[in-house]
Amino acid sequence: MSSISIIGLGNMASALADRALAGGNAVEIIGRDPAKANELAAALRGATVGTAGTAPAGDIVILAVPYASAAAVVSEYGDALHGKVIVDISNPITADSKGFVTPEGSSGAQEIAKAAPAGAHVVKAFNTLFSNVLAAGSAEGRLLDVFIAGDDAQAKARVSAFIESLGLRPMDTGQLPMARALENAALLQLGLVAHSIKHTNFFLGVNILS
């Protein structure tokens, strides 16, 4: 099993932490509000609480924060993230859900990687799952697919093993520039929510035909 630090206290952080604990992983919760961090850890029953700005205990550090603050958080931790696998779950989508705030041709994950110290490896994952679906863990008995992208094969293998411990199915899409395609998939989901499905109780997955 893995040692996980989750930076963030929102719905995705809670869902990831809950499933990670159920999968036998060690989980550390980190947030700027110590009271909220302790409250979340107590509700989860088994998570520890870290201190914002100090070196995360986990080998895998999940950035469960909005994209607008993700790169700044990575910069703040600096060399404390050396040797860590950094998992970016964010979507750098504009407020009107019509495009991206990232530079043309780049992705949120690539911009976060620029802020990461040497020796840290960024992996994109979980950005196409809504928190309520992630918390449920499956859809009508079917495993949820978690699309990942990253440049380091070993880092992706570690993230894939973690995903499997959650009872989910990792789907490797390639190197980190593929994160832009995954972020476009999230934009597609928001379009479906706004114009046809009207709720978030769905997920994008792959049916492999025999």
pLDDT in tens, 169-182: 999 999 999 999 99
Closest by Cα among 16, 17, 60, 52 to 152: 60
pLDDT value, residue 195: 96
The answer to whether the Cα torsion of 27, 58, 67, 182 is positive or negative is: negative
Domains assigned to the chain: 3-195 (3.40.50.720)
Q: Which residue has the higher pLDDT, 196 or 210?
A: 196
Q: What is the DSSP letter of 117?
A: P
For 116-141, write each residue's pLDDT tens digit: 999 999 999 999 999 999 999 877 78
Q: Which residue has the higher pLDDT, 114 or 2?
A: 114
pLDDT value, residue 196: 97
User: Model-level pTM?
Assistant: 0.96
**For the chain, what is the mean pLDDT?**
95
Close Cβ partners of 59 (under 8 Å, ≥ 6 residues apart): 2, 3, 4, 83, 84, 85, 158
